[in-house]
Amino acid sequence: MGSALRADPAITPGSELFARQYYARISKDIGFDATPGTTTLDSLLGFAGYPISGAKLEALDSTILINPTRAASQDDGLGLALRGLSGATLRDGDILATRFFAPKIVNIDTATPIPGWRKLVRLRARPTSRAAQAGIESVVILFNFFAHVGEQPFTQQSANTQVMMLAPSRKDRLYWLDFDTAGKLTFALNASFDAADLPGGGTRNYYVPDGCNACHGSPGNFAPPMVNYLDTDHWFDRLDSDFVALKAAGTPLIFDANTNDSSQASFGAAFDVIRRFNEEALLQNATVRPRSFEAEAARTWLRIHAQSDDHLPLIARGFTVNGGSTWQPSEADGLARLNRYCFRCHGSVRFSIFDRATVVEKAGNIRQRINPGRQQVKVPGFKMPPDRVLEQSELQALDAFIKALK
């Protein structure tokens, strides 16, 4: 556990009051009643034109969901009528679904971290649905799971279900909702981003919209938030550091691939679903802030994975937003430390560690953040990383690496 001096988290937590006001505002904006404790995930699905239960969506295999015929079927699917579903037949791409390893939701402030897993379902709003009439194009639902190494993931209920509704033509660009295990609307996500500063379980609440905006391109709500692309490479990286036990267990990280062998056909098919989702993420980022590091990161993933489903090396993943320097092979070890300890947030918070020129620019700042002075350490959320306490040797290696950067 970290120092007891600090009470405030690094990630903006927001508050219940702001969350309540936010839900009241968006209820009016889009004509969807968002009342915490009352509104259900089922009602959101109905709003988007899918008269189905959230539990069913959570339970069904991705391979069924992404197949229009099977998804619509009464037998093993969602039981949607194939025709006349709020305006049109269910078509290929109307539903995207993928299940994957999610190191970013893991409480890492512990000797034996419990792997996190996510199931993402993207539903295109049905043409005549109330959501579509309010300018919502799609709904992204993110189910969260935890399973000890060796146990089958996705067998328990989603611990928390995060939702975004994409409305590119509206001022907000996207709207946030969050649901609890029972599928009821809630104010906040409970997570471990500031674990190093928290006693006990190491989690706290991050409220809509501020807590969400902090990691989705809008710290302090200065601009509309953005979709985060899915970084397959990072999931595989972490098998060699914090999750060696998971590597040994061999659980498929892109779960629907049934394998970690990228040469298998089943891997290619599952990987392509992520490619399709990331294309949409980039499209959204590019309408909101095309020159942002977030957009450039998504663009980079899509470029290097245009032909390849493989786990690509760190150096190949570097980019620049201002035409500055990019990471070199001799810098791979240092970049690996930034990737392991900082990318959880600095892939989507304020800057990306893959943007070398920005890391160089912030070098002095980074060194202070990882080795704060006596006064700085008292500033809430100053010390980095906030989610774990680094080994002294690792801290020194990271500091030496940053110090030598030019």
Closest to 225 (Cα-Cα) out of 302, 168, 180: 168
* Least CB distance to ligand HEC at residue 42 (A): 17
* Least CB distance to ligand HEC at residue 54 (A): 14
254-to-65, 100, 153 alpha-carbon distances in Å: 16, 5, 12
Find out whether 25 and 170 touch, Cβ atoms under 8 Å. no
Burial (Cβ within 10 Å: 0-12, 13-18, ≥19) of residue 12: buried
Q: Pick from 66, 120, 273, 288 the residue near ligand HEC by CB under 6 A.
A: 120
Note whether 288 binds ligand HEC by CB under 6 A.
Answer: no
Task: Find the part of the chain contacting ligand HEC (CB under 6 A) among 52-60, 266-274, 307-315, 361-369.
Answer: 361-369
Q: Pick from 143, 179, 206, 401 the residue near ligand HEC by CB under 6 A.
A: 206
Q: Pick from 6, 119, 305, 344 the residue near ligand HEC by CB under 6 A.
A: 344
Q: Which residue is nearest to ligand HEC (CB)?
A: 215
Task: Find the part of the chain contacting ligand HEC (CB under 6 A) among 83-91, 203-211, 299-307, 309-317.
Answer: 203-211
* Least CB distance to ligand HEC at residue 109 (A): 10
Task: Find the part of the chain contacting ligand HEC (CB under 6 A) among 38-46, 241-249, 298-306, 376-384.
Answer: 376-384
Note whether 384 binds ligand HEC by CB under 6 A.
Answer: yes
Note whether 217 binds ligand HEC by CB under 6 A.
Answer: no
Closest to 297 (Cα-Cα) out of 226, 236, 243, 364: 226
Note whether 189 binds ligand HEC by CB under 6 A.
Answer: yes
Sign of CA dihedral 48, 49, 54, 56: negative
Q: How far apart are CA 110 and CA 330, in angstroms?
A: 31
Tell me whether residue 72 or residue 347 sits nearer to ligand HEC (CB atom).
Answer: 347
**Per-residue mark of binding to ligand HEC, 9-48 (x: CB under 6 A):** -xx-------------------------------------
Find out whether 82 and 90 touch, Cβ atoms under 8 Å. yes
57-to-62, 195, 351 alpha-carbon distances in Å: 9, 31, 34
Residue with tokens 């190491």: 202
* Least CB distance to ligand HEC at residue 71 (A): 20
Task: Find the part of the chain contacting ligand HEC (CB under 6 A) among 24-32, 87-95, 291-299, 384-392.
Answer: 384-392
Note whether 205 binds ligand HEC by CB under 6 A.
Answer: no
Note whether 193 binds ligand HEC by CB under 6 A.
Answer: yes
**Per-residue mark of binding to ligand HEC, 154-183 (x: CB under 6 A):** --------xxx-----------x-x-----
Query: Structure tokens of 316?
Result: 């190949």
Closest to 202 (Cα-Cα) out of 100, 105, 340: 105
Task: Give the up-direction half-sphere exposure of residue 134: CA atoms within 13 A in the CB hemisphere.
Answer: 25
Tell me whether residue 62 or residue 228 sits nearer to ligand HEC (CB atom).
Answer: 228
- Count CB neighbours of 377 within 10 A: 14
**How far does Cα 162 stand from its chain's mean position?**
10
Q: How far apart are CA 41 and CA 179, in angstroms?
A: 7
Tell me whether residue 206 or residue 319 sits nearer to ligand HEC (CB atom).
Answer: 206
Tell me whether residue 80 or residue 366 sits nearer to ligand HEC (CB atom).
Answer: 366
Residue with tokens 């060194």: 367
Q: How far apart are CA 211 and CA 220, in angstroms?
A: 9
Amino acid at 42: D
Tell me whether residue 52 or residue 335 sits nearer to ligand HEC (CB atom).
Answer: 335
Note whether 230 binds ligand HEC by CB under 6 A.
Answer: yes
- Count CB neighbours of 363 within 10 A: 16
Note whether 335 binds ligand HEC by CB under 6 A.
Answer: no
Q: How far apart are CA 335 and CA 328, in angstroms?
A: 9
Residues of this chain that interact with ligand HEC (CB under 6 A) are 10-11, 102, 104, 118, 120, 140, 142, 162-164, 176, 178, 189, 193, 206, 208, 211-212, 214-216, 227-228, 230, 341-342, 344-346, 348-351, 362, 365-366, 369-370, 381-382, 384-387
